[in-house]
Structure 1
């Protein structure tokens, strides 16, 4: 499976913070925002990852992540000159995806909860047994603000609407999407919406009409955080801070994830910890390596 992180856009809802830096490079407590979606793909076992961003911001992502080799990854980069819809990621990333299944995660979405890696692996297995598309739903109090999905008792997606006035469920569609090998062709066949964008909802609707779209409920006890506003960015940082300080573990520490997923060994992990300054992050990475 190939992975894509969509980290484009202008981040206008976070002005003036985003006047000189990409939204996805802003800190969420103790690490750059992009570490969180990157760790999501890593937990799914994805090692070939394409980062899509603006021509202005791509050099900063390259400086931060490099080739990914130190983490046992292969990270490449592509430009999205203008934000023309989420589904455009598959058109831009067509060569990267090739004939593989793919996972798209939005660069400002944070996922955290028990058994997440296992859930991801089971969902990916579903792509090999009849599922063409796997979406992840999250219960919200105000579904009118989101794309909303409805599933039958077997988990098959039976309706999907964008910001409906009368929602048929309270399940918001989160910014994590798994697809089979058809997705590039489907994305290319989608027509721009009234706002001139290639909508991911239209891609998902094609799979739904095929009867091959599944909605996985993240459910109670799971955290899905969107960091697109000043308030939500602060809430996400507070969530990470409280859990890390109380439990003594780091959320989305990509070095630890790489070690536990078997992408790198303990010696490599320890060396990665040594490159950081005395922020506490360095000590944590080296301790994880020493006790692994």
Structure 2
């Protein structure tokens, strides 16, 4: 059964400041967003953390088909009463209306399948390149409109990395326009669009905290309609490799740290290229398979032989 009051999980102070939050959201650079500390009711946030799933329980297989340092779990109702309460709350009309008041985006739709969302956990050394998200729900004709992320890290220093980064244009900018540390019960809500470039910086934990992980819950919201000026053809998540750090300029003497960072950037770029080649190969194999593939083969053969 749904909670009788979906807004009960939100800290009362947040609801009271909805008008100010919306003003901040609409005017924020480099694209609409708002950062809200102590977003959830304190006891509720603590309950989510206490019942956060073990890394091994989630899906840690990366885009390359191999186990990696990121684990996600979409079936959050399996995690106990607190997570069931979260799921009940965020689909309620009261909660959706509260988020609309915080952002100015009306008629929001909850995703019952948590596609791409749910719990996220990242280990030491992980990072995420700048990207814009897929713009339509994978199985519905819904426009993706909002990402709502709540961080669940009671012990975290911004110097350890893992900070959410918001970019104006990652094709040109080496530095984000804004960086947000993933502090406990901090919520970031941002509009998903063709310019909502975001990432998170590489996690570099000190030896005494090497076993910590970056934990969060990611919730995505949709609408059936979107202003025509903001609408684009359907696409998947689009990544951009990071630029070289600004200090790596003519005359600079490379340090050991610089060399390590350059190697990491090259490895990430090579990995991205390898993934694109693998996707291209898979598409060609699918294209060649079955009756459709055979007919396409015959059509290509005929074209080559008779084009003269």
- Range into which the TM-score falls when normalised by the shorter chain: under 0.3
- The structure number with the bigger radius of gyration is 2
TM-score (norm 1): 0.22
TM-score (norm 2): 0.21
